[in-house]
Amino acid sequence: MKIQKVTIHHIKMPLQFTFATSFGVMTEKEFLIIEATANDGTIGYGECVAFAAPWYTEETIQTCWHMLEDFLLPLLQDQEINHPDELQAIFAPIRLNHMAKSAIEGAIWDIYAQQQGMSLAQALGATQNEIRVGVAIGLQPTKQALLQQVGKAIAMGYGRIKVKIKPGHDLEVISTIREQFPDVPLMADANAAYTLDDMARLQALDAYNLLMIEQPLAFDDLIEHATLQRQLQTAICLDESIHSLEDVKKAIQIGSCRIINIKIGRVGGLTVAKQIHDYCRQHDVGVWCGGMLETGIGRLHNIALNALPHFVLPGDLSGSHHYWQRDIVKPPIMMAHGKIQVPMDKETYPVIDHQALAQYTLTKKEYDVTGLV
């Protein structure tokens, strides 16, 4: 295939809940939706999961747009692409900027799957036709609100509960949940809010039988996580620290974690995400699919990835209605009894809800990829 045209839709969607983490509070999310057209007319969609501000990684909606417009799309001009894996080499001249690369790579994976007459999951080599999912609950203002959220999530069948923690909102958050729900599969995500000075506080979490603690220390650290992991019984899971297969190799070699959270955008696309999955499978390291509060487009990509064989831990992957009143795909993605069916058939595969997309659009811009440079 050759990519002929790309339309970037800049959209903003109100969240169904307030999402409070150690770095701030979110009530809405912006996205770039990438609509790519191939020379045979096939249209594929990708999603840029970066936030409006650089608090999770250094990328933002605006840096991604700049990267796409000025560097990544021009590299696609006159490029014959036989398989999306080739984008690794095509984009190699551009350092990092993983969420920008992932957005266009996702659209090209979507085109490729359609051209092969396969679902995205099949094109990736998926083996599961339904996946178990978990929920991420933000910091709550009161104990009652926390217990209500956890109770509701358990009643809805989620296979794992993740709660956000930060210094001062940790031991009592976890002990409150454990008193009421002693056996629920539970984990905590710190979003890099601690340092090694908090060792005693983090060790105290060992008493609560957590599945794992996600990213306790700095966003760019591997060494101190290894020090911490040696002194914790609870498994450490890395999120922000993992940007590539190389990072995964280093983390495993020095013992920074026992589990990896794979986010397609953070690692630069589906191809790398799959490579990390394969490597962790060979090295007996757990993986699960992280979430970035995606629209249905990014969510479909997460579901397809999550259907690979080594994704046995539930991911941060709920149905559309958990996040959005109206998603931009139809039918919306449904979660029932803690499971999501992996869409496989052409007839039932979710499609873009163009009316919804238009309703959320702030601006859009079309690029003729054949005439960019």
Q: Which residues are catalytic?
A: 164, 263
Cβ proximity of 371 and 19 under 8 Å? no
170 is in an annotated binding site: no
Cβ proximity of 80 and 373 under 8 Å? no
Q: Which stretch binds ligand OSB (CB under 6 A): 68-76, 122-130, 149-157, 287-295?
A: 287-295
Tell me: does residue 329 bind ligand OSB (CB under 6 A): no
Separation CA 1–CA 177 (nearest Å): 52
Tell me: does residue 110 bind Mg ion (CB under 5 A): no
Chain residue at closest Cβ approach to Mg ion: 239
**Smallest distance, Å, CB 240 to Mg ion?**
7
Query: 59 or 239, CB closer to Mg ion?
Result: 239
Query: 106 or 315, CB closer to Mg ion?
Result: 315
3-state secondary structure of 304: helix
Q: Which two tokens stand for residue 346?
A: 């052409």
Tell me: does residue 13 bind ligand OSB (CB under 6 A): no
Tell me: does residue 30 bind ligand OSB (CB under 6 A): no
Contacting residue, 108, 136, 303, 308, with ligand OSB by CB under 6 A? 136
Q: Which residue, among 259, 336, 270, has the nearest Cα to 302 in the 3D structure? A: 270
Tell me: does residue 338 bind ligand OSB (CB under 6 A): no
State phi, psi for 297 to the nearest 5 degrees: -70, -55
Separation CA 60–CA 73 (nearest Å): 18
Question: What are the Cα distances from residue 6, in Å, to 15, 67, 188?
Answer: 27, 14, 39
189 is in an annotated binding site: yes
Tell me whether residue 250 is exposed, middle or buried, using C-beta atoms within 10 angstroms of its C-beta: 0 to 12, 13 to 18, 19 or more.
middle
Separation CA 61–CA 142 (nearest Å): 33
Q: Which stretch binds ligand OSB (CB under 6 A): 68-76, 88-96, 100-108, 288-296?
A: 288-296
- What residues are paired with 238 via a beta bridge? 260
**Smallest distance, Å, CB 200 to ligand OSB?**
24
Q: Which stretch binds ligand OSB (CB under 6 A): 180-188, 291-299, 326-334, 362-370?
A: 291-299
Contacting residue, 44, 265, 290, 314, with ligand OSB by CB under 6 A? 290
Query: 4 or 318, CB closer to ligand OSB?
Result: 318
Tell me: does residue 316 bind Mg ion (CB under 5 A): no
User: Of residues 152-211, which lie at the interface with Mg ion (CB under 5 A)?
Assistant: 189
Contacting residue, 291, 338, 343, 350, with ligand OSB by CB under 6 A? 291
Contacting residue, 47, 105, 189, 221, with ligand OSB by CB under 6 A? 189
Kind plus residue range of the DSSP H or E element containing 5: strand 3-21
Cβ proximity of 315 and 290 under 8 Å? yes
Q: Which stretch binds ligand OSB (CB under 6 A): 70-78, 218-226, 290-298, 339-347?
A: 290-298
For the chain, helix, strand, coil in percent to 5 are: 40, 25, 40
Extended strands (E) in 158-239: 161-164, 186-189, 213-214, 236-238
Extended strands (E) in 82-231: 130-137, 161-164, 186-189, 213-214
Return the one option of Mg ion, ligand OSB, none that residue 292 interacts with (CB less than 5 to 8 A, by type).
ligand OSB
User: Of residues 47-106, which lie at the interface with ligand OSB (CB under 6 A)?
Assistant: 56
**Smallest distance, Å, CB 1 to ligand OSB?**
30
**How far from chain centre, in Å, is Cα 148?**
26
Separation CA 305–CA 315 (nearest Å): 11
Tell me: does residue 1 bind ligand OSB (CB under 6 A): no
Contact track, Mg ion, 229-248, x by CB under 5 A? ----------x---------
Residues of the shown chain interacting with ligand OSB in the complex, contacts defined by CB under 6 A? 56, 136, 189, 191, 239, 290-293, 316
